[in-house]
Chains A and B, each alone.
Chain A
Amino acid sequence: EVQLVESGGGLVQPGGSLRLSCAASGFTFSSYSMNWVRQAPGKGLEWVSYISSSRSPIYYADSVKGRFTISRDNAKNSLYLQMSSLRVDDTAVYYCARDPVVGEFDYWGQGTLVTVSS
């Protein structure tokens, strides 16, 4: 069974940093591209970042480019999102999601909540 489990969310002050993790199991993690998608409270879905199975290429949404860094460790079956210079409007549930190489997200984690507030 495919499982994606996010962790690392929490409360952080504006300008602060946070690192999210996503532990994958039930599939060959190293064969799949992965993404982060977020959802602000009561709002819709917003794609954040993409990383290919081989770590390159990497893409970011304009709203996070230069502040967020996606990475992965295929030996540990893990995906990461390093977030810095956090802003109040980064407050959201962050999901990791698998892309089966055809442009959609076929499996999602349960999400981890990031709250940016003073």
Chain B
Amino acid sequence: EIVLTQSPGTLSLSPGERATLSCRASQSVSSGYLAWYQQKPGQAPRLLIYGASSRATGIPDRFSGSGSGTDFTLTISRLEPEDFAVYYCQQYGGSPPRYTFGQGTKLEIK
């Protein structure tokens, strides 16, 4: 089973700054099956990025995804107040197929 490890656990930044979140896999992940989600307190997760680098419908272009193999990155170019939340990476694969999530990165206001 592929394990996803996200870092850092907590990231403290100010609005307007750039955020870089990391997701590392224990085995190679097909880039077609790496996604990122944002979750705010009391809400369901929202899909941000799929296929490692494609933005989901309605997601602002300040969000971007990159990476391949075992190392993936979510970048938020200029933080807006509404971006402070928990972010999860997720992969799909294996036999039988499994979906696994990273443990999350909390992005908090500095």
Contact = CB atoms under 8 A, between A and B. Distances in A.
Given A45-B39, A95-B44, A103-B50, 13 more contacts: A44-B102, A44-B104, A45-B37, A47-B98, A61-B98, A103-B93, A104-B33, A104-B47, A104-B92, A105-B90, A106-B50, A108-B46, A110-B44
Nearest to A108: B44
Interface of B: 32-33, 35, 37, 39, 44-47, 50-51, 56-57, 88, 90-93, 96-104
Of B46, B47, B97, which is in contact with the most chain A CB atoms at under 10 Å from its CB? B47
A35 interface: yes
Given A44-B101, A46-B101, A47-B101, A105 B45 contact: yes
Contacts of B101: 44-47
Nearest to B50: A104
Contact of A50 (B57, B97, B104): B97
Interface size range on A against B: 20 to 34
Interface of A: 35, 37, 44-47, 50, 57, 59, 61, 95, 102-111
A47 B99 contact: yes
Given A44-B88, A45-B88, A103 B47 contact: no
B47 A105 contact: yes
A102 B92 CA distance: 9
Nearest to A106: B47
Nearest to A111: B44
B65 to A, nearest CB: 11
A107 B57 CA distance: 11
A50 to B, nearest CB: 7
Contacts of B99: 35, 37, 47, 50, 103, 105
A109 B44 contact: yes
